[in-house]
Structure 1
């Protein structure tokens, strides 16, 4: 009965909010509150909360494991990541703590703990949004995830101090042994094949090796799942493993958002506190923006990162359940409202920055971060935007005939292509600043090979806005994407699955005709 109610409510509310332009996760949160309100009349079993907690936990572990598969260790040790996370946490903790003491009359220990947890951003929300936009590999996405990892480490220390549960002595030994475990993990992935055993291997690594393994020695299960994913991120099949777990992760994460909504029904005082905390979210985002500018990030990167980190963290609910039960309901409502506040902003972040750019660009430092230097296309005649599998195949096919240049927003992917001898440059095609400084005189044709349909639309519009009159070629997965790309300015759109079928048919015809040719015999 519980699964019937949960799935029905989640789908109904998720579909309703999607119809008005909001992401489904907002509907899942609303569904959680609705189930909580109607719970007694629905006849839910007493074990419903425990079941949902377990499902939500699995979803979080699979999400963070997938994030780890797309990261690199080096990006976590960047000054803007460590410095931004530590300084932001210190300032916001001080401000929140002082405000809680002055306005609510709380004692300092309670106010300080609440200030710490309110300073953190939601790892699940940020990772979910970045994954949906396919921006985890982008510079701003990697910066946001790095800051979240640092915050999670601080969170573990805070929880250990307040709960009195320090990591066991074996935790240090486990951390020291991690580099040695990498070959064994890679071998396990190689041995798993490409079928359902690969899915089981992914769940084993995320939930057992990462989650339960780290938890057993006093470290967080969430950090464990992320770390194991990081160890596998250099494997050639890391993306395949991530893709194989996508459906399971999405389903389990529905339980996470339902769980937040079902944490409790708010009273008038709870609602007032949650609304007050929600009104402070722009200040939290503004502080991130200012700090990242101080580390010489460009205005657009700082803006997108700050928006992604605006929502309150689900960690506050874990702390409240453990040591502050009286604050569980207002914090659950504040987290929910922060998701509702941040979700549409994240979705339209590029358009929003486009409107605010004349005002925000003036805050940008003259010398920008080395990963954000402008690019020069050189003497190339073909521009390929997006250097994943599709873009790489296009580059390798066209480069013997025409001089090509590739563009990608993932610096690690760019480094790999450069090492392989390809002419690939780093840039974010959705950054208006990139297009403004780009000289296109030598470019005769452009190929849009990104995964994200919004990125393709933006690139096609930017090319036409610069006066580019050459052919723009793109691929599309769905029929409705074809019209969108043509409207944006693309000339030739190929549906990926249709083209694969046509290619197979062409090869079949050639093979059959070859077999029909009479054999040649030489008489002796």
Structure 2
């Protein structure tokens, strides 16, 4: 079975690429191009099979379903998302269309469709990068994903118009899907924690979301995203997302392989891809200034724009319907943009720290409500990261210390904590502007319960840089990360599983003491 050999080859290159600090998906793309090159040089036909196509499609559906599980729809419907996406689409098409028409001697219709295809950003790549950095629910991550969803909706409209087709009359059923949410919640509660949970995720993402939407003339990708979003508010949504992680990762290998195996380009396709790569920075710059116009801080605008600085697999889908002769040049352009965007996004925070003083000059005087400077007043204990660990620490400390506060980079999560009576506010520990506006005169202890190692390292370094002399403690899963956290400035960094074992043992000792008395 050729797919098994291809995936094994992709694993080898993915491992090699990871070793030099790049995301494995770059290796998967490279594997596809190498296989395509081997086919051309040896004469052995290596083509994307139907099986690989199905694997790739399932990977995309599962990725979008897990993205939906992390989304709060009320946070997507915002001026910066709707306005930013529509303005970017309009300006890009207005500039690219005449440029392509004049420079490449194309018809107006072809130039317009190519401009539309190049205006989209990759949902797969951006979601993958943001998810790997645990930034999907951070403010800039939600803005980027929201814009991508708007772009996907625009792409669906364009594809329908280009194909001369409209959704069937049964598509109206989609508007009744919210009525199914109670039933879906009960199914999720009843599915347990093992294989039934995984099967439920596959059923919703691939069958009800994917095939169901497709059968009524709508996008299967949109269906997977919608069904994920319907479960986003369920307490076990993140457990479902984690249970699908390994399945989704394997299938996504097929997606990136499929792009590379598509074929080696000719000189015209390479020239087109080169020009597209050269104008790629303009796409990010436009996003940056549009988001600043909607009162985002420079850091949030920069990180969102960088995540969106690539070309989209949706552009390939549009081309397959409207411009099949341009599919290979667009595929190369998308692939090259992935090779550029993936490593840049990995270095996004470092890049912003280097250029923060220049980029911040473009900020307006008024900032977005989610990005206001913060004063901690008389707070004595600060907890950064209000997930399960941070919440447990907060609830325990609340019994002894009344002057404590929790910070979290997800505004919706902060609001949920506030409704439950906790003193929690929005703040992103990886935002340099947050630290510049932070006032914490009475804080004597800080707990770093952030979800990723990068956030903990930045927080520890910034606290010490600001002159904080108090106690900093963190937790982590790995000994090497604990060492890095201590070197960054924390007094202590404990291993999570070790501390869990100690806590369990302390309960036994407590019970033994009670029995002796």
Instruction: Please name the residue that 2:4 is paired with.
Output: 4
RMSD: 1.6
User: Structure 1 stretch 371-380 or stretch 143-152: which is displaced more?
Assistant: 371-380
Residue 365 of structure 1 and its aligned partner are, at CA, apart by 0.8
User: 5 Å matches for 1:109-508?
Assistant: 109-172=109-172, 174-402=173-401, 403-508=403-508
Residue matched to 2:16: 16
Partner Cα distance (2:152, 2:30) in 1: 26
Alignment partners' CA distance in 1, 2:315 and 2:73: 26
**C-alpha contact (below 8 Å) 2:14/2:26 kept by paired residues:** yes
Distance across 1 between alignment mates of 2:512 and 2:360: 61
Q: Does 1:49 align with 2:61?
A: no
In structure 2, the partner of 1:522 is none
1:42 Cα deviation from its structure 2 partner: 9.7
Worse-superposed segment, 71-80 or 302-311: 71-80
What runs of 5+ residues in structure 2 fail to find an aligned partner? none
Question: Which residue pairs with 1:521 in the alignment?
Answer: none
Retained in 2: the 8 A contact 1:37–1:265? yes
**C-alpha distance 45-119 of structure 1, shift in aligned 2 (>3 A):** closer
Q: Is residue 85–residue 150 contact of structure 1 (8 Å, CA) maintained in 2?
A: yes
Q: Which residue of 1 aligns with 2:106?
A: 106
Separation in 2, partners of 1:371, 1:11: 40
Q: Distance in 2 between matches of 1:325 and 1:345?
A: 30
Q: Confirm or deny: 8 A CA contact 1:406 1:423 kept in the other structure.
A: yes
Distance (Å, rounded) in 2 between the aligned partners of 1:450 and 1:469: 20
- Residue 323 of structure 1 deviates from its aligned partner by 3.1
Check the 8 A contact 2:213/2:220 in 1, yes or no.
yes
Question: Do 2:288 and 2:305's aligned partners in 1 also have CA atoms closer than 8 Å?
Answer: yes
1:294-351: CA deviations, max 9, x gaps?
1111111111110010110001211222332221111111111101111121111111
Shift of 1:45: 7.5
TM (normalized to structure 2)?
A: 0.97
SS of corresponding position for 1:446: strand
SS of residue paired to 1:425? strand
CA distance in 1, matches of 2:502, 2:43: 52
Deviations 1:204-262 (A, max 9, x none): 01111111111111110011111111111111111111111111111111111111111
Name the SS for the 1:280 alignment partner. Answer: helix
SS of residue matched to 1:105: coil
Instruction: Map Cα deviations across residues 254-290 of structure 1 (whole Å, 9 max, x no partner).
Output: 1111111111111222111101101111000000011
CA distance in 1, matches of 2:267, 2:488: 48
Structure-2 residue corresponding to 1:84: 84
The 2-side partners of 1:42 and 1:106 are apart by 34
Distance 1:369 1:441 in 2: 25
CA–CA separation in structure 1 for the residues paired with 2:264 and 2:297 = 42
8 Å Cα contact 2:410/2:426 also seen in 1: yes
